[in-house]
């Protein structure tokens, strides 16, 4: 039967105690509440048995969309192995992990034209995770993000990047192996690291906006890490390219899986002298320093918008505002 797990909005649902020590407040889509059981990935007999076990939960992904309940707030809807007839067997069932004795798998239902009808589901829908992520609790957001990322990786690695032959899923869906005997390359799930940085001086932060963004939206600076580059080098380069400002004092903050489709956002803070920024005209069409009071007032009056609360960029901005508050600046948010 499809299973709607009750919403748990007040708890983070972290699986391993040490995760709490590592990250006191995980970002959205992080801290999946599963034991990833890497030791079971090479145990096909155990995997087959779990796929016949009615206690197993299956997370379906349909054309990059995730299945959630129609109620408020939405919760992740998972399936039992008998709930669906077919899924993409080029991808197979991807072992995500185990929680409370139940194995969790992801499957791709993209080939099914009307999945809700075929599943017999009425009070659920397949939605873009990005649009509803803020409404989900930590555990559901992380579970759906993990499933979405894994299915996306499989769909884009059906052929070997080395020789072009077909690949097949193995090790519980955590490896795709080239089927050409002479090649036999193994391919592993990947994430694309991107740095995201809040640049500040003593009183202000540096925010920019892209022409393609919604009107009045300003955010932190970001970009993908390039080959042969350290993270602090990537921070320096991105800020210099986009604004012409030279940063110092790069400090790691936290990270966030961003499964749209497969980024890992690496959050930093950095300091800079108050140089006049210039938008590069390519990625950014405006970049400005905002004093704290100015930023609060512009945001309060809706003259500017800040990134969604679910994002690490908003967290970086909010924590900077709070830190200045503690330093004795006006408390007016
Ligand atoms: Zn190959």
Beta bridge partners of 198: 269
Distance 326 CA to ligand 1 centre (A): 57
Distance 159 CA to ligand 1 centre (A): 8
Do residues 136 and 175 lie in contact, with contact meaning Cβ atoms separated by under 8 Å? no
**Across 276-292, average pLDDT:** 92
Q: Is the pTM of this model over 0.75?
A: yes
Distance 176 CA to ligand 1 centre (A): 10
Do residues 129 and 148 lie in contact, with contact meaning Cβ atoms separated by under 8 Å? yes
What is the per-residue pLDDT across 162-215, written as a single tens digit (0 to 9) for each?
Answer: 999 999 999 999 999 999 999 999 999 999 999 999 999 999 999 999 999 999
Q: Above 50 in pLDDT, residue 300?
A: yes
Distance 308 CA to ligand 1 centre (A): 41
Q: Which of 51, 208, 31, 218 is nearest to 136 (CA)?
A: 31
208-246 in b/e form (b: 16+ CB < 10 A) is: bbeeeeeeeebbbbbbebeeeeeebebbbbbbeebbebe
The residues placing their C-beta within 5 Å of ligand 1, an ion, are: 160, 162-163, 165, 178, 180, 183, 185
Distance 229 CA to ligand 1 centre (A): 28
Distance 59 CA to ligand 1 centre (A): 29
pLDDT score, position 323: 78
Distance 165 CA to ligand 1 centre (A): 5
Distance 155 CA to ligand 1 centre (A): 16
Which homologous superfamily does the CATH classification assign to the domain defined by 192-326? Nucleoside Triphosphate Pyrophosphohydrolase (3.90.79.10)
Q: Above 80 in pLDDT, residue 96?
A: yes
Higher pLDDT, 332 or 166: 166
How many residues are listed for the chain in this entry? 333
Distance 166 CA to ligand 1 centre (A): 7
Higher pLDDT, 325 or 281: 281
Distance 167 CA to ligand 1 centre (A): 7
Tell me the domain boundaries of the chain: 3-156, 192-326
Distance 179 CA to ligand 1 centre (A): 7
Distance 224 CA to ligand 1 centre (A): 27
Distance 280 CA to ligand 1 centre (A): 41
pLDDT score, position 1: 57
- The rounded radius of gyration (Å) of the Cα atoms in the chain is 22
């Amino acid at each position: 039967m499809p299973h709607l797990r009750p919403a748990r909005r007040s708890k983070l649902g972290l699986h391993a105690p040490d995760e709490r020590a590592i990250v006191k407040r995980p970002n959205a889509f992080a801290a999946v509440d599963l034991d990833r059981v890497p030791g079971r990935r090479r145990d096909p007999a155990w995997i087959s048995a779990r796929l016949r076990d009615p206690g197993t939960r299956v997370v379906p992904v349909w054309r990059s969309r995730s299945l959630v309940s129609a109620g408020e707030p939405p919760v992740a809807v998972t399936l039992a192995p008998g709930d669906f007839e077919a899924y993409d067997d080029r991808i197979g069932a991807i072992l995500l992990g185990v929680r409370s004795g139940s194995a969790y798998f992801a499957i791709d239902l993209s080939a099914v034209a009307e999945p809700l009808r075929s599943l017999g589901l009425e009070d659920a829908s397949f939605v873009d995770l990005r649009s509803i992520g803020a409404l989900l609790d930590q555990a559901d957001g992380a579970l759906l993000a993990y499933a979405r990322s894994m299915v996306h990786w499989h769909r884009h690695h059906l052929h070997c990047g080395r020789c072009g032959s077909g690949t097949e899923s193995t090790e519980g869906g955590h490896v795709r192996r080239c089927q050409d005997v002479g090649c036999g390359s193994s391919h592993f799930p990947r994430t694309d690291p991107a740095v995201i940085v809040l640049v500040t001086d003593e009183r202000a932060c540096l925010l920019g906006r892209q022409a393609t963004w919604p009107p009045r939206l300003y955010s932190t600076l970001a970009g993908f890490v390039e080959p042969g580059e350290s993270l602090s080098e990537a921070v320096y380069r991105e800020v210099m390219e986009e604004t012409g400002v030279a940063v110092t004092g790069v400090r790691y903050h936290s990270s966030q899986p961003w499964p749209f489709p497969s980024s890992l956002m690496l959050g930093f803070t950095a300091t800079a002298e108050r140089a006049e920024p210039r938008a590069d005209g390519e990625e950014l069409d405006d970049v400005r320093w905002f004093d704290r009071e100015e930023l609060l007032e512009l945001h309060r009056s809706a003259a500017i918008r800040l990134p969604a609360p679910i994002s690490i960029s908003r967290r970086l901005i909010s924590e900077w505002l709070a830190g200045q508050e503690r330093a004795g600046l006006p408390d007016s948010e």
